[in-house]
Structures are given as C-alpha cells and as structure tokens.
A and B are shown apart, each in its own frame.
Chain A
Amino acid sequence: MSDFQVMPWIDRVMALWHQLVFLWTDRLVYFLIAVIVLTVCYVRRREHLHAPWRRVAQSASGMVGLALLLAFVAVGLLDSLHFKQPRSVEVLSVLDVVLRPLRAHAEKTYSAPLAIRSYAMETVILPGGGEQRVFPRLIYGGAQLADVERDYTGDITRRIVLGAAAGLLAWGGLVWMFAAVRGEARSEWRRIWRGETTVPWRAIALALLPMALFSGVMVALTGGYHVFGTDKVGQDVLYEALKSIRTALVIGTLTTLLMVPFAIVFGIAAGYFGGWIDDAIQYVYTTLNSIPAVLLIAASILMMQVFIDRHAEWFATEAERADVRLLVLCAILGVTTWTGLCRLLRGETLKLRELDYIQAAHAFGVNTLRILTRHILPNAMHIVLINVVLAFSDLVLAEAVLSYIGVGVDPSMNSFGTMINGARLEMAREPMVWWSLASAFVFMVTLVLAANLFADSVRDAFDPRVRIARPPSAAAFQSHE
C-alpha cells in the first residue's frame, strides 16, 4: 500500500482526534480506570491479596450490587468521552450521540410521562375564527399516532410487550452465552440455576433480568414518547437522569482519588513518627473537622465561583467551566472527608508500629521509608479500601444536598441535586409535577443501594474483626489448600 492511499485515512483519524475534548474530570476518570486495571492485574497474581476478593465474589448481595454499579459505570464512561463538533462551541459526549433522539426531541414545557398532550394549556385560534383553550399535542410525544384516542393504549401496550420480549431475549441469550463460555452450555445453565456455582451467578442473573426488561421497555417506548416526561424547558427527564449518573459517579470516585494520597501520607506519618509530627497533623485534622463540612464547602465554592468568574477567559466553553467547578467540588469534598480516613490510619499505624515484625525490621536496619511502604502500608490498606467503598454512597448523597443548597455542581450541569432542586418547587402545582422527582429518586436509590450492598460485602471480606467473628466457610478452607 502506498502512502498515497493511507494518508486520507490518517487525516480522518487525526481530524477526529482533534475534535476530542479532554475535560479535567475525564482525564482523572481515565487515570482512575488505569489505576483500577493495574490493581486488578497486581492482585490477581498474588494469592493472599486475591483471597478476600474471592470472598466478595461469593457474596450474593455484593455481586448484585456490583452488577448494578457496573451498569451505571458503563453509562458514566460513555458520558466521559467528549468531543466538539466543527464550528460549534457545544461539547458533546458519546452518550449524547447515543441518546440523540432524547436530547433533540425537546417539547415546549412540562409533559407527564408517556403523555401525548402538553401539561400547559394554550390558546389556539380555531379555523372558523374564535379562540379555544386546549392542551396542545406534543411535538414528539406520540407524534407517530394517526388517531390518538384509538391508537394510544394499543401502541403503548405493543411497545411495552415488544420491549420486554426483546429485553428477555437479550438477557436469556447473554446468560446462555455465558454458560457456553464456562463449559458445556446446557449443564452449566443448569448449575447456574441450581445455585451450584461458587460465585453466585444465579443472583447476578436474576438481578440483570429486571435491568434487561427495564432497558428493553425504555428503548421501545423512547422511540415514540417521553417515558419520564419532560421538564420545565421541555427537556426529556430520562435524558437528564442518565446524564446525572456521570456527575454522581465522578463525585463519588474522584473525591476519593484526590484525598486518599493525603490521608495515607499524613495518617501513617502521624502514627509512625509520633511526637511533634503527630501533634501537628492531629491539630490540622481536628481543626478542619471542626468546621462544619457543609459550611466549609459552601464558603469554598462561593469563593471559587468568584475566582472562576473573574478568570472567565480561561475557559473556552461552558462545559469546561462547569467541569472545573465539578473538580473543585471534588477537591473540597476531599478536604472535608480525608480527616476520617487519616485518623483511622493513624490509629492502625500506632498499633502496627509496636508489632514484632516491625521491630525486627528496625533491628535489621531496614530504612524508615522501606518499613513504611513495605510493612506498614500493605497492612493498613484494607482500611483504605473499606473507607473508599463506604465513602462512595455518602458522597453521592452529599452531592444532591449541596447542589440543592446551591453550592454543588454548576447549575448548567445535570445532576441529581439540580434535578431535585428544579422539581421541588413544582410540587405545589396542580396537577402536581412529580416525574422529575420520581426519576431522580429511582435512579439515585438504585445507585446508592447498589453501592451500599457492594461496600458491605467488601467490608465483610476485608475487615479482620468481622472475619474472626464468623466461622470460616468451606470455600475459605479450599482456597487455603
């Protein structure tokens, strides 16, 4: 192949590359994924690190939580690859492209879930003169129906049945394929359903079923309707909820990513060195702790907003501005949350420091840095891990509260907090506008509940106190052999 033929292709790729926009949070998300992948590779090769994770894999509730979480993460990742179209300042993500029909099909104002008529009355001029107050038809919702009164129920039912069938088929196919990959498909399928597998695949499959049905029905219905209705400016609520997932995930994970290094360094230093270092670090975290978190965040965000407004020229697009504010919010949340982990690590290091093997390392003349990284840190890591997974759901909940107060994410950014904030004033309307709130509720509870279930199983597997209290299971014995 000559260069002549290859060049246009390269040009196209390069053009595509230049369209990509890497927001700060995007980069950190990629970095986080790299860290997770590397950790998984590292852990897989070491039996003693692998063993607790195997216990997590055997917990039905934990794996169900993880399956749900991964579904959310998939949406969040699609939403973390941004690009800018030529001759436009709008920054879009891959998710925006996937959800193009949802994003583009904006109505004028509120409409109820699956509605075909607007929420608000309008005055129309009749053909023969005179005026009439009517609920006008929506532009997109149910636009495909020829005769609304006759076809509406049939169309909805048909779509629900078809969507559910497609979801069921996809789910069955997926489980069957999985069984086939594991071995002889028929017998593996049977083993999964009898619950004879070490990893509770049956529970996971059962958790995926409602998700498959839900997604199938959603896809089938969104073709013709606004499944969760539309908001004040006519934006589809399902689209908003899906876009909010990334914000929640970013807050829940990046905050931790930013704060964990500080907590580890300061916590271990305070516990190991003692003396004035300990006093100084303790003083810093007690001081930070004693400022009520929400006020510290409010003050910092207000200050940051002034700063961002003053330097508006630094940010090319609105998306970049909102993104910087999101990152700042993560950093400030990190400042308010690192103290707890720091205190726990300090306590653990105090305990570890007195143990024989550390004393022995001292006696052999191992230098301090090596003792800290090689002997103390790995033995305190379980605390970091437990704390990180437990903190996730708290952070997701905190984001909603802060955005509601007005010191959370940028108002232009989709988040569960902004959804609730926008929806709560509409509760007083008659008839009530409940759908924004309801969808925020459904998505948020599912996400947080999944995170809580997973976090609980991680804690049970890694916390030595819990492990001692429970008799070792047969599987645990097997893994020791």
Chain B
Amino acid sequence: MIAYVVRRLLYAVPILIGVNIVTFALFFVVNTPDDMARMQLGIKRVSPAAIESWKHEHGYDKPLFYNRAAAGFGKISDTIFYRKSLRMFVFDFGASDDSRDIGYEIRKRAGPSFAIALPTFMVGLLIYITCALGFALFRATYLDFWGVALCVVAMSISAMFYIIGGQYLIGKLWNLVPISGYAGTAAGALRFLLLPIAIGIIGGFGASARLYRTFFLEEIGKDYVRTARAKGLGEGAVLFRHVLNNAMIPILTTVVVAIPSLFLGSLLTESFFGIPGLGSYTIDAINMQDFSIVRAMVFIGSLLYIAGLVLTDISYTLVDPRVRFS
C-alpha cells in the first residue's frame, strides 16, 4: 500500500517537469522577453533602451539556459530558465509586474478559493449521487424520464447564465444575500459564500447527475446484481450495498477529471462574485497580461491536478480491494 502510493508520487515528478518545460517553451521561446516588454510598454514606438530597462527590472535580461558571463554555478543559476522556471519547484514565484510577491498573494488568496471550491465539490457530489441513485431506483418511470430530460436541459445552459440569473434573482430581486463581495471573518464570509456555492452546485447538476445515473444503470445490468436479487435482497439493499459501492470506482475517476474544471468553474464564480481568490487573481492577471502570474498559476494548477491524480489512486485502494492487494 505505501509502496503503491510512493510509486504514484514518484510518477508525478516527471509530469511536473514536463509541465514546466511546456510552460517555459510557451512563455519564453514562442515569444521572446523583448516581445513581452514591447507589449507591456505599448506596441508602437518603444525605444530599445526602454525595453532593456523593463527587462532588467523584471529579471528577463538574462540568457535562457546558459550564462557564459557568470562564474561557477552562476552559469546555470543566473539564467531565465533557472530563475523563472526551476525556482517554482521550491514555490518561489518571484514578483508580479506590479512588484508584488506572487507567492504571498497566492497564500493569501488560497483561503477564499478553498472556501468556495470545497463545499461546492462535497455537497454537490453528495446531491448528484443521491439524485442519480434516485433516477436509477425509479428507472424507466416518468420520474426517471423527466429527471434525465431536466438534466439535459440543465447541461445545455452555460454556467454564466446560472451565475447571472442567480445574482439577479436572489441578490437583486429578493435581496436575500449580497450580490458580490467578501468579508474576512468566518461569519461574515458565509453570507457572501452561500450564493456562489449554491449556484456552483446547480450549475454542475445536469452533467454529473446524468453521468452517475449511467454508471449506476451499467452496474445494475451486471450478474452480481442478479445474484443479489436472487438471494432475495430488496431493491434498496441491492442499490445501496452493492451497486453504490461498485459504481464508486467510475465516479471517482470522473471526479478527478472534474477537478480542473472545478478550477475553471470557480474562476468564473470568483470573478462574477468579486471574491478575492485564486480564480479572480488569474482573471485579473490575464486582463492585465501579467505573464509571471499566469505562469505561476499554471504551475499551481498542474500541481493541484497531479495531487488529485495521486489522491484518486489512493481512494481506489479504499473502494476497490483488488487494487489494495495487488
């Protein structure tokens, strides 16, 4: 078991290195730091001196991989690749274009992001699975049919409409919760978080509930279910004791796939609701075209995804004994 987890963790290292190389290529090879400087300073009529000083200010005036001018280890360390890319592995993200420490910002903003993503994820999962089980229990009835029809309609609506509609209906028309904003204290934050969380859950309902329903139906068609019924078990016992356990494996697999999209979802949610989390930070960075922040967020995002992969592998061992004993 421990060897298995260690193996999965080690497997994550080359992937993280690969991500780093891809982002480095994207940010420094496709476009040179000169282009970046020119864009920050305005495309037209920029003097070469201004470009040089901008590059020097932001630490882009070094060679990409190998610095001949430096001495000793500086040949490697005094380069853009080392400074901007390798330093990320020790969570040193450097400064953003407006000279703030990105690492500090990320630590500060991780809290609010987490406060939205985690409840949305957990409560959502619980609701989706419950509904999907309900559809499976009442399969081939009107409840199932209209439930699935509702899911198809719900998944055809863009997440943005849920957010805008929810903000308008609950925030503006009914005045139940503030439309947007955030407060530092736990009790104060709750007021601001309720609506985004609820909308996040509703927005994901259609696709997830329908998908989990197919997982359940697939399991219900299998031999062990027929055996369980033949033993004389009731429908409830069959569903909850046998089908649910076995359907957890494909559900866990898709949940991990959903983690990056959860990130995308909270990107939108945070920006619409004005919550000072990582998502709104990223969107602001994109709008200001601050590449150092985008680069840091790509790294963090991949790190989260890979952590999710490892977590899935671990959770497999909990729900599937075959993995545990192999």
- Identify the A interface with B (CB < 8 A): 283-284, 286-296, 298-300, 302-303, 306-307, 309-310, 393, 397, 400-401, 404-407, 416, 420, 424, 427, 437, 441, 444-445, 448-449, 452-453, 456, 465, 469
Taking CB atoms, residues of chain A closer than 8 Å to B39 are 306, 309
Taking CB atoms, residues of chain B closer than 8 Å to A424 are 160, 164, 272
A452 B263 Cβ-Cβ under 8 A: no
List the 6 closest pairs (A to B, CB-CB), nearest first. A287-B18, A292-B301, A449-B156, A448-B156, A290-B305, A292-B260
Taking CB atoms, residues of chain B closer than 8 Å to A286 are 15
A437 B164 Cβ-Cβ under 8 A: yes
A401 B159 Cβ-Cβ under 8 A: yes
Q: How far is the CB of A117 from chain B (nearest CB, A)?
A: 24
Q: Is B286 part of the contact surface with A, judged by Cβ < 8 Å?
A: yes
- How far is A465 from B19 in the complex, measured between Cα atoms in Å? 36
A291 B19 Cβ-Cβ under 8 A: yes
- Which of A284, A288, A294, A300 contacts B267 (CB under 8 A)? A294
Taking CB atoms, residues of chain A closer than 8 Å to B309 are 290
Question: Given A292-B263, A296-B298, A452-B155: A287 and B15 within 8 A (CB)?
Answer: yes
Taking CB atoms, residues of chain A closer than 8 Å to B161 are 437, 441, 445
Q: How far is the CB of B45 from chain A (nearest CB, A)?
A: 14
- How far is A294 from B309 in the complex, measured between Cα atoms in Å? 18
Q: How far is the CB of A154 from chain B (nearest CB, A)?
A: 33
Taking CB atoms, residues of chain B closer than 8 Å to A296 are 298
A469 B22 Cβ-Cβ under 8 A: no
Proximity bits, B241-277, A CB within 8 Å = 1, else 0: 0000000000000000000110110011001100000
Other than A290-B16, A295-B301, give 18 A-B pairs with Cβ distance below 8 A.
A283-B15, A284-B18, A290-B302, A292-B263, A292-B298, A299-B26, A310-B35, A310-B38, A405-B283, A406-B283, A416-B158, A420-B158, A427-B168, A445-B153, A448-B157, A448-B158, A449-B152, A452-B155
Q: Is B221 part of the contact surface with A, judged by Cβ < 8 Å?
A: yes
Q: How far is the CB of A420 from chain B (nearest CB, A)?
A: 6
Q: Give 30 CB contacts A-B under 8 Å.
A: A286-B15, A290-B19, A291-B298, A291-B301, A291-B305, A292-B260, A292-B263, A292-B264, A292-B304, A294-B263, A295-B298, A299-B23, A299-B291, A299-B294, A300-B26, A303-B26, A303-B27, A303-B30, A307-B30, A309-B43, A310-B43, A400-B158, A406-B287, A407-B286, A427-B164, A441-B157, A449-B153, A449-B156, A469-B217, A469-B221
- How far is A453 from B157 in the complex, measured between Cα atoms in Å? 13
- Which of A291, A445, A448 contacts B22 (CB under 8 A)? A291
Number of interface residues of B (CB under 8 A): 56
- Which of B152, B267, B305 contacts A456 (CB under 8 A)? B152
Q: How far is the CB of B278 from chain A (nearest CB, A)?
A: 11
Taking CB atoms, residues of chain A closer than 8 Å to B172 are 427
Taking CB atoms, residues of chain A closer than 8 Å to B221 are 469
Proximity bits, B277-301, A CB within 8 Å = 1, else 0: 0000011001101010011011001
Count the A-B residue pairs with Cβ separation under 8 angstroms: how many? Answer: 133
Q: How far is the CB of A303 from chain B (nearest CB, A)?
A: 5
Taking CB atoms, residues of chain A closer than 8 Å to B234 are none
Output the residue of B14, B16, B22 with the most chain A CB within 10 A. B22
Q: How far is the CB of A344 from chain B (nearest CB, A)?
A: 12
Q: Which chain B residue shows the least CB distance to A421?
A: B160
Q: Which chain A residue shows the least CB distance to B260?
A: A292
Taking CB atoms, residues of chain B closer than 8 Å to A287 are 15, 18-19, 22
B30 A405 Cβ-Cβ under 8 A: no
A292 B156 Cβ-Cβ under 8 A: no
A306 B294 Cβ-Cβ under 8 A: no
A406 B286 Cβ-Cβ under 8 A: yes
Q: Is B31 part of the contact surface with A, judged by Cβ < 8 Å?
A: yes
Q: How far is the CB of A121 from chain B (nearest CB, A)?
A: 23
B31 A307 Cβ-Cβ under 8 A: yes
A453 B298 Cβ-Cβ under 8 A: no
Proximity bits, B132-171, A CB within 8 Å = 1, else 0: 0000000000000000000011011111110010011000
Q: Is B129 part of the contact surface with A, judged by Cβ < 8 Å?
A: no
A283 B18 Cβ-Cβ under 8 A: yes
- How far is A428 from B112 in the complex, measured between Cα atoms in Å? 25
B158 A401 Cβ-Cβ under 8 A: yes
B18 A404 Cβ-Cβ under 8 A: no
- How far is A303 from B294 in the complex, measured between Cα atoms in Å? 11
- How far is A177 from B221 in the complex, measured between Cα atoms in Å? 46
Q: Which chain A residue shows the least CB distance to B43?
A: A309
Q: How far is the CB of B202 from chain A (nearest CB, A)?
A: 15
Q: Is B306 part of the contact surface with A, judged by Cβ < 8 Å?
A: yes
- How far is A448 from B155 in the complex, measured between Cα atoms in Å? 9
- How far is A457 from B267 in the complex, measured between Cα atoms in Å? 33
Q: How far is the CB of A440 from chain B (nearest CB, A)?
A: 9
Output the residue of A303, A424, A445 with the most chain B CB within 10 A. A303
Taking CB atoms, residues of chain B closer than 8 Å to A289 are 305
- How far is A475 from B117 in the complex, measured between Cα atoms in Å? 48
B15 A295 Cβ-Cβ under 8 A: no
- How far is A288 from B38 in the complex, measured between Cα atoms in Å? 29
A302 B152 Cβ-Cβ under 8 A: no
Q: Is B201 part of the contact surface with A, judged by Cβ < 8 Å?
A: no
A401 B160 Cβ-Cβ under 8 A: yes
Proximity bits, B158-201, A CB within 8 Å = 1, else 0: 11110010011000100000000000000000000000000000
- How far is A286 from B306 in the complex, measured between Cα atoms in Å? 9
- How far is A453 from B153 in the complex, measured between Cα atoms in Å? 9
- How far is A424 from B164 in the complex, measured between Cα atoms in Å? 8
Q: How far is the CB of B80 from chain A (nearest CB, A)?
A: 16
Taking CB atoms, residues of chain A closer than 8 Å to B260 are 292-293
Question: Given A287-B22, A309-B43: A293 and B31 within 8 A (CB)?
Answer: no
